[in-house]
Amino acid sequence: MAAFQESTAETVTIVAGLESTFADELGALTVPWQGAAAPDPQLLVVNEQLAASLRLDVAALRSVDGIGVLSGSTVPVGATPVAMAYAGHQFGGYAPILGDGRALLLGELVSSAGQRVDLHLKGSGRTPFSRGGDGYAVVGPMLREYLVSEAMNALGVPTTRALSVVATGRDVRRNGAEPGAVLARIASSHLRVGTFEFAAPAGRGLAAAHRLRDRPALPGADRTSVNGYTQSLSEVPRGGRRGAGVTGGEVDAHRFRARVMNTDNTTISGETIDYGPCAFLDAFDPAAVFSSIDHGGRYAFGNQPAVLKWNLVRLAETLLPLIDSAPDNAISAASAILETFDERYEGHYAAGLAAKIGLAQPFVDRALVDDLLTLLAEHGADWTGSFRALADELRGNSAPLDQLVPREHIAPWLQRWQGALTENGQGAAETASAMDRVNPLYIPRNHRLDAALRAATDGDLAPFEKLLEVVTHPFDRRDEWADYTEAAPRSFSETFQTFCGT
């Protein structure tokens, strides 16, 4: 296992402005470490637009030294890479020590917009938290995270971002020998519910939790207020566009099937993170499970709101001693906040679905939405295609919808929907245009992404690059991209599973 050492190479210009405030302020929650040397690092993809927003020199990132930094082989001068400690509930069972088993926090950058973000490497080698794993990642899963996170960003959903993927030149044993890779990830913060779970035990002291509360990613609290912790807890499920409850509603409205939602995969910022076993729904099915390790369906799509609330209860438990020294008072205060989750989540989810069917706020006929979901589920209709087909219906083109749901079954619902639009004073043309602005045409279809990743693993990046271009322009119809709107063949969907790549 590599010992920590500062690189002798002059690489400071590669990541100018890199800071290490988390490592400096919360050393008890980190272990200084260095990534494993990459035998033959090759840059597969770099996010030039994101790099520019972080005031990074793209040419420098593409240089030998830059690729060394992005692979974890080279430590920028002045940086203190660390493996972050955290605990977590995994499938409901508590694991007191998890941590970055194959990742390192290189430090923090300040974007051109003034936002402080983490620069994090995934797949950079073993750490003290590896728990017997090799610490490596492989090309397929790292490119999956790159593409899906960028697709989510294009959809407007709060998410971590991908800066680059570097192939290491190392063969890694997974399903046979696969090419190794390192992902460079950008996040508002890597604080997780599991970070607070790790810091909570008295043996580690409440001071660490106090310091965590002051991190920028913990939303909304008045740091001078005696009840600042209740404010913080309240803002996590609220949080503007960044709170976990809001993000959950937005993600669910797009029918993204997030990875297993353990507490170590639930960020305080509300950004979606760790796109290992993840997928988008084709046919609408609330019971859909894609993860190969979710045998009991705990994280089936329809269960995700309840799981998110469960995770927030675990967060609240870590904050109880900080909310009030009297346990009963602390529990009452936290419970009062958590009881608002369902209403908040439902509000964001309902608003998202109303927008998808073109109904402007305020809109309260939830039965109209629920009945549509029932129709889509009963007929196995493609989720993404259905909403674009409804917009086409308003334009007088019935063919796309007729291919998804028999006319005799959906006609009564269409009459109710068009009545609601008329009652709202909404014209057909303007409503269809509004729907097109919120309903994507192009998402990372599972069969398309699977094929692109297989090709990339074999050395052909062209399908990946094309798919990346398509899904980062999700709303703009292009005739040459018509094939990318097609749902996966049923034979593919019935057997499709995702893996985290560890």
Identify the pLDDT of residue 227.
Answer: 55
CA dist 185 and 118 (Å) reads: 8
**pLDDT classification of 291: cutoffs 50, 70, 90:** low
Burial class (CB in 10 A: 0-12, 13-18, 19+), 197: buried
Residue 92 annotated in ligand binding: no
User: What token pair was written down for 465?
Assistant: 């690059």
Identify the pLDDT of residue 496.
Answer: 63
User: What token pair was written down for 242?
Assistant: 């960044």
pLDDT tens digits, 446-461: 999 999 999 999 999 9
Over 50: is that where the pLDDT of 108 sits? Answer: yes
Residue 134 annotated in ligand binding: yes
Secondary structure (H, E, C), 204-225: HCHHHHHHHHCCCCCCCCCCCC
Catalytic residues: 264
**pLDDT classification of 211: cutoffs 50, 70, 90:** low
**pLDDT classification of 118: cutoffs 50, 70, 90:** very high
**pLDDT classification of 403: cutoffs 50, 70, 90:** very high
Identify the pLDDT of residue 252.
Answer: 54
User: Comparing C-alpha atoms, which of 61, 73, 76 is closest to residue 164?
Assistant: 61
Q: Which residues contact 411 (CB under 8 A, 6 or more apart)?
A: none
**pLDDT classification of 243: cutoffs 50, 70, 90:** very low
Residue 185 annotated in ligand binding: yes
pLDDT tens digits, 323-366: 888 999 999 999 999 999 999 888 888 888 999 999 987 666 88
Task: Please report, for the chain, the start and end positions of each structural domain, with discontinuous segments joined by +.
Answer: 12-187, 194-349, 358-502
Cis peptide before 362 (omega within 30 of 0): yes
CA dist 119 and 74 (Å) reads: 14
Q: Which residues contact 453 (CB under 8 A, 6 or more apart)?
A: 139, 140, 143, 144, 464
Residue 55 annotated in ligand binding: no
Residue with tokens 């597969």: 44
Identify the pLDDT of residue 300.
Answer: 72
**pLDDT classification of 235: cutoffs 50, 70, 90:** low
Residue 265 annotated in ligand binding: yes
Over 60: is that where the pLDDT of 245 sits? Answer: no
Residue 274 annotated in ligand binding: yes
**pLDDT classification of 438: cutoffs 50, 70, 90:** very high
> Residue 490 gets which letter from DSSP?
H
User: Comparing C-alpha atoms, which of 452, 131, 441 is closest to residue 264?
Assistant: 131
